[in-house]
Amino acid sequence: MSSRGRFITIEGGEGVGKSTNIACVEQCLQERGIRYLKTREPGGTPLAEELRNLLLAPRTEKVCEKTELLLVFAARAQHLEQVIRPALAQGTWVLCDRFTDATYAYQGGGRGLSLATIALLEELVQEGLQPDLTLLLDVDVRTGMARVGKRGGEADRFEREQLVFFEAVRAIYRDRAASNPARFRLVDAGQPLASVQHDIRCAMAEFLERNHG
Contact residues toward ligand TMP (CB under 6 A) are: 18, 41-42, 72, 97-98, 102-103, 106-107, 158
- Nearest distance, CB of residue 98 and ligand TMP, angstroms: 4
* Closer of 29 and 169 to ligand TMP (Cβ): 169
CA distances from 182 to 18, 43, 177 (A): 21, 27, 9
Q: How far is the CB of 121 from ligand TMP (least distance, A)?
A: 10
With beta carbons less than 8 A apart as the criterion, state whether 10 and 183 touch: no
Tell me the closest approach of the beta carbon of residue 13 to ligand TMP, in angstroms: 8
Q: With beta carbons less than 8 A apart as the criterion, state whether 57 and 157 touch.
A: yes
Q: How far is the CB of 66 from ligand TMP (least distance, A)?
A: 13
Closest separation in Å from C-beta 204 to ligand TMP: 20
CB nearer to ligand TMP: give 42 or 131: 42
Q: Which is nearer to ligand TMP, 28 or 48 (CB)?
A: 48
**Nearest-CA neighbor of 75 among 96, 45, 101?**
45
Residues 6+ apart with CB under 8 A from 132: 6, 7, 8, 183, 207, 211
Task: Calculate Rg over the CA atoms of the chain.
Answer: 17
Q: Which is nearer to ligand TMP, 48 or 87 (CB)?
A: 48
Side chain identity at residue 7, one-letter code:
F
For ligand TMP, the closer of residues 98 and 170 by Cβ is 98
3-state secondary structure of 133: strand
